[in-house]
Amino acid sequence: MFGLSDFLRLLMSVLIILPLTTIIRESGYYLAAILLGATKKKLVIGSGPKLFSVSTIEVRRYFFMYSWMEYDELKTNSRFWHGFMYASPILTCITVGFSVNAFIAAEVLPNNMFFQTFLFYIFYFVFFDVIPVYLPDGQPTNGRAIFDLLYYGERSDYLKERGQTNRQQSNRKESKEGKGTG
């Protein structure tokens, strides 16, 4: 049964733990972008209207919902470094998750609801990052991006752009021939 303590845990998860784990995940991208000399990098935490920004980090009103890292190009343009960029949030979450778990085991941190929920969410991000699928909007998970990079030798964003270009060309051709979509 969902009681008051569950409601408080939900609030703690939504307002504190989920944003914290999201920032940890996205900071993996951000640190990798700095190390790899990415141009025009920007870390966006949350969605909705902008609350404030500091240098290349922007915080939005709904800080607990959706975040992303954007950049133009990496200084190094090899498959290895692009793979490192895709793997960076996975590696960051795994490192933080195992460290927190070790601190709990060593009784440095308390084994309480906060840290149990934190570990749940940090490994939740790892789990869904490594699954090699394309999301409904066509964007690849990091696992899929790494797979495409290793198997096909191409970046997934390139494959997505190429697929969109092919669809656009096909739609233009159908329009010229008088074939509509609907």
| pLDDT at residue 95, as a whole number | 97
| pLDDT at residue 179, as a whole number | 44
Tracing tokens 């939005």 back to the chain, one arrives at 60
| pLDDT at residue 180, as a whole number | 43
* Sites in the chain below the pLDDT cut of 70: 64-65, 157-182
| pLDDT at residue 117, as a whole number | 94
Instruction: Using alpha carbons, list the distances in angstroms from residue 64 to 21, 33, 46, 182.
Output: 10, 23, 6, 39
| pLDDT at residue 157, as a whole number | 60
| pLDDT at residue 162, as a whole number | 52
Here the tokens at position 178 are 């008088």
Q: What is the DSSP letter of 47?
A: E
| 107 Ramachandran zone, left/alpha/beta (phi>0; psi -120 to 50) | left
Instruction: Using alpha carbons, list the distances in angstroms from residue 19 to 15, 30, 59, 178.
Output: 7, 16, 11, 50
Helix segments in the chain, DSSP class H: 4-12, 18-35, 79-105, 113-130, 142-151, 156-176
Q: Are 121 and 13 in contact (CB under 8 A)?
A: yes
| pLDDT at residue 161, as a whole number | 53
Q: Are 125 and 93 in contact (CB under 8 A)?
A: yes
| pLDDT at residue 56, as a whole number | 86
Here the tokens at position 72 are 């133009």
| pLDDT at residue 67, as a whole number | 78
Distance CA 182, CA 179 (A): 9
Q: What is the DSSP letter of 155?
A: -
Tracing tokens 């869904």 back to the chain, one arrives at 128
Distance CA 6, CA 4 (A): 5
